[in-house]
Amino acid sequence: MAELTSEERVMRALHRQEPDRVPHFEWLIDRKVRDALCPGCRDANDFAVRMGHDAVLADVHYHKERIGPNRWRSEWGFVIQDTSEEQGIEVEAPIQTMADFERYTPPDLLLPQRYQTIEELVERFAGKMAVIVHLSDVISLPRYLMGMENLLVSIVTQPELVKALVALSVDVNLKMAKEVAARGVRIVYTSGDYAYTKGPLMSPRHFREIFYPGLKQVIGGFKELGLMVIKHTDGNLWPIIDMIIDSGIDCLDPIDPLAGMDLGEVKAKYGHRIALKGNVDCAHLLTFGTPEEVVEATKEALRKGAPGGGFILSSSNSIHSSVKPENYMAMMDTLKKYGRYPIAL
């Protein structure tokens, strides 16, 4: 097969086809790893270009203001505390009750500056690298606006409030999706974990009653706009995986290996309906393992995920600050050596 562009490679994988080789990109690569492997790179997308990744990533931009040492308030009203990682954690939330929700006004979604970086990436990379924009679906925004603990409790104690926040999330993400699609974006990914290592964060019944209707609505709206959708969620998804796939997503990420999500089993059961992205363990293997162990794990992911197409190789979440740079390079080098179709392992 002739050499494809990175954009073509990713699009073929998302359409469950075999490209020339298995594509690769990561949702996040921490600055410590970037600086070790690519000194002088300006940011994550500069790193992606220099390292030969197949996608560049962008967010809709929202301002944050400093409100204290290492604390920032988002335009959405929640407060973030800096950590040793590039991403902070939410420590204060603006909505605790239905009365709070009724007083709440989200930021203006249509300000042109929100989409400036996206426009620049599309202009520079369209037709070359996949440009993927980060949106959310039904759990991230409720979590940010309520705090995770309060959200999970409120699924039982204040279900109408949670449903109202899910509806808000659907509405604002469809509005943002319309804006990014109009600017030439073809792929979005939605973050927000539905599960932890032992199972979903809520019962399957609560997921079906409170989150699933909104999930179908928002994914359906993305698809009506012509967008391909990659859904990210860690954890053991087996009790709710059929609902996730029935929502209409194109790709599921990262098929969490530490949560019992075997890549081969997911591929066998659902590979005719969705593409898969993952799933080299970043919690232990890429952090504490040896390059030789990473090579074998990467080859195993290729054996299970790549045959027949519809597969994007990546870590099992992100390349966080504790990942050994040499282990990430072992994964990349193994992909280059064994990831070309037809796969021969």
Q: Where are the domains of the chain?
A: 6-53+254-345
Length of the chain: 345
| Helix residue ranges, H only, 208-321 | 212-224, 241-246, 263-270, 285-288, 291-305
Backbone angles phi, psi at 95, to 5 degrees: -120, 125
pTM of the model: 0.97
Instruction: Say how many C-beta atoms besides its own lie within 10 A of residue 133's C-beta.
Output: 25
**Contact at 8 Å (CB) between 291 and 330?**
yes
Q: What is the pLDDT along the chain (345 residues), one digit of tens a residue?
A: 789 999 999 999 999 999 999 999 999 999 999 999 999 999 999 999 999 999 999 999 999 999 999 999 999 999 999 998 888 899 999 999 999 999 999 999 999 999 999 999 999 999 999 999 999 999 999 999 999 999 999 999 999 999 999 999 999 999 999 999 999 999 999 999 999 999 999 999 999 999 999 999 999 999 999 999 999 999 999 999 999 999 999 999 999 999 999 999 999 999 999 999 999 999 999 999 999 999 999 999 999 999 999 999 999 999 999 999 999 999 999 999 999 999 999
**Contact at 8 Å (CB) between 118 and 185?**
yes
